[in-house]
Structure 1
Amino acid sequence: MRLLAIDTALANCAAAVLDNDAGSACFEACAEEIGRGHAERLMDMIGEVMAETSTPFSSLDRVAVTIGPGSFTGMRVGLAVARGFGLVLGKPVVGITTLAAIARSAAPGDAGAPLLVALTGKGDEVYCQQFDASGAPAGQAGVLTFADLAANLPEGIRLAGSAAEKVAGECGIPTDRILSRRGFPCIRDVAELGMTADPARSSPSPLYLRPPDATPQTKGRIERQ
């Protein structure tokens, strides 16, 4: 299978081509931690990895894209590009959460205590999800406060993600249980998860864990008849 992977959900902007066929196996990635401006950089990165691997778009079997949690603007950029390729090429597009991709990299695979991937949210909130030691989901992604986490985390829990340090401090967890402080996934992990994702269950739809801060204006609205 030959796959194009895209990540624009957080501070990183990345694209990669992964081919796991025995006769043509390759991996090529382009990534840059830019914070903003994903729309200006993404297409150049895609062009670079496609050219470096001599991959025509018509030979792609699927596209994988990060769906969040993350920046609203960044997610929309990646999703729009991925869906566009999928539509034009007639190929499946699969959505990969940033939490799952970070877990894949950080999970120790030792059959020990579970892993909590925690990303910095608004105020005292964190976007988080528990995974087992192999990186498989052990619960649903959600938004929790530090107080919620302190009351509900299992004994021995290990941590990863941009909020790992804060979670450890707020919840009294030893810092030696922090396995990673990465604030965004590695594009290789996004690509690997995209290879095995079921298109029927991995929709390329944004993962919103909290409602938007802005609400529609109602004052002065003229009602439609």
Structure 2
Amino acid sequence: MNILAIDTAASLCAACVYDAGAGAEKGRAVLDLGKGHAEHIMAVIGEVLEKASLSYAAIDAIAVSIGPGSFTGVRVGVSAARGLALALKISAVGVTTLEAIAAETREAFPGRPVLCAIGRADSLAMMQFDAAGQCVGGPRLASPDDLVQIAKEHASVLAGDAAERVSQMAAGGFDIGPRATTADIRFYARIAAERPATGEKPKPLYLRPPDARPQTVFALPLNGR
């Protein structure tokens, strides 16, 4: 089973083809863009298929990062995944950035609870996993103080770009996994490979409203009103 994984939720525009049966990657392409994912995502996917020596028809399912992450980036990835799934008549599976980061962390720290947190604001996006890898909290927003308490109570391995901040607030002493806003692309594919197809379309996961707001101060009245 060939799974095409797509991640545009953070600064990376990444894709890979993963052979679920063999548990191996067939090809990958990763660009660190920051912005402009929409202009590059299809070229990145095309490059991955070329490296894997596969056509679109050989793809059996699509995995896509649904966030939390960049408001625009998440929408680009989800739209691409849903469009390809519709055209190819295959399933698309949404995977959160937090669970993908946690899965990458468990590879380095097997059998350990993981607390994943990303963000730079006073409220951080978090997900908590027990030693068996089951989600026991989140995805939700939490204050750094709350995360310090959770980490201490469960002796968690910390992961995500807020991991260092939480560890410092807790006076250190924690093992730390990937300090990033997203995981290596293969973990999105691996998680999707373990999930049964439900037919449900992936949707963006937003834990906070977008920064952009419609302007009302300079709105002009309609003619005749």
Q: Structure 1 length normalisation: TM-score?
A: 0.87
Does 1:14 pair with 2:8?
A: no
1:87-141 CA-partner distances (Å, limit 9, x unpaired) = 11111111010011111111145434x21111114x2221111112343322221
Flag the 1:159–1:202 CA change in 2: closer, same or farther, 3 A.
Answer: farther
- The worse-fitting range, judged by mean Cα deviation, of 146-155 and 95-104 is 146-155
Partner of 1:99 in structure 2?
98
8 A Cα contact 2:26 2:51, kept in partner: no
Q: Aligned partners of 2:190 and 2:182: how far apart in 1?
A: 15
Partner of 1:188 in structure 2?
186
Q: Secondary structure at the match of 1:140?
A: strand
8 A Cα contact 2:124 2:143, kept in partner: yes
8 A Cα contact 1:95 1:202, kept in partner: no
8 A Cα contact 1:109 1:133, kept in partner: no
Partner of 1:45 in structure 2?
44
Q: What is the root-mean-square deviation in Å for CA atoms of aligned residues? A: 2.4
Flag the 1:177–1:109 CA change in 2: closer, same or farther, 3 A.
Answer: closer
8 A Cα contact 2:97 2:181, kept in partner: no
Partner of 1:126 in structure 2?
124
Q: Secondary structure at the match of 2:101?
A: helix
Partner of 2:160 in structure 1?
161
Share of identical aligned residues, percent? 41
8 A Cα contact 1:118 1:161, kept in partner: yes
Deviation for aligned residue 1:149: 2.2
1:23-43 CA-partner distances (Å, limit 9, x unpaired) = x96521111222112112211
Q: Aligned partners of 1:221 and 1:213: how far apart in 2?
A: 23
Partner of 1:137 in structure 2?
135
Q: Aligned partners of 2:133 and 2:92: how far apart in 1?
A: 22
Deviation for aligned residue 1:84: 0.6
Q: Aligned partners of 2:185 and 2:49: how far apart in 1?
A: 15
Q: Aligned partners of 2:86 and 2:124: how far apart in 1?
A: 34
Partner of 1:146 in structure 2?
144
1:38-62 CA-partner distances (Å, limit 9, x unpaired) = 1122111111111121211112111
1:167-187 CA-partner distances (Å, limit 9, x unpaired) = 11123342x421221332101
Deviation for aligned residue 1:146: 1.2
Deviation for aligned residue 1:83: 0.7
Gaps of at least 5 residues in structure 2 are: none
Deviation for aligned residue 1:4: 0.8
8 A Cα contact 2:25 2:186, kept in partner: no
| Residues paired across the two proteins, number | 219
Q: Structure 2 length normalisation: TM-score?
A: 0.87
Q: Aligned partners of 1:213 and 1:34: how far apart in 2?
A: 20
Flag the 1:3–1:155 CA change in 2: closer, same or farther, 3 A.
Answer: closer
Partner of 1:72 in structure 2?
71
1:57-88 CA-partner distances (Å, limit 9, x unpaired) = 11211111000000011111111111110111
- The worse-fitting range, judged by mean Cα deviation, of 72-81 and 28-37 is 28-37
**AA in 1 matched with 2:180:** R
Partner of 1:178 in structure 2?
176
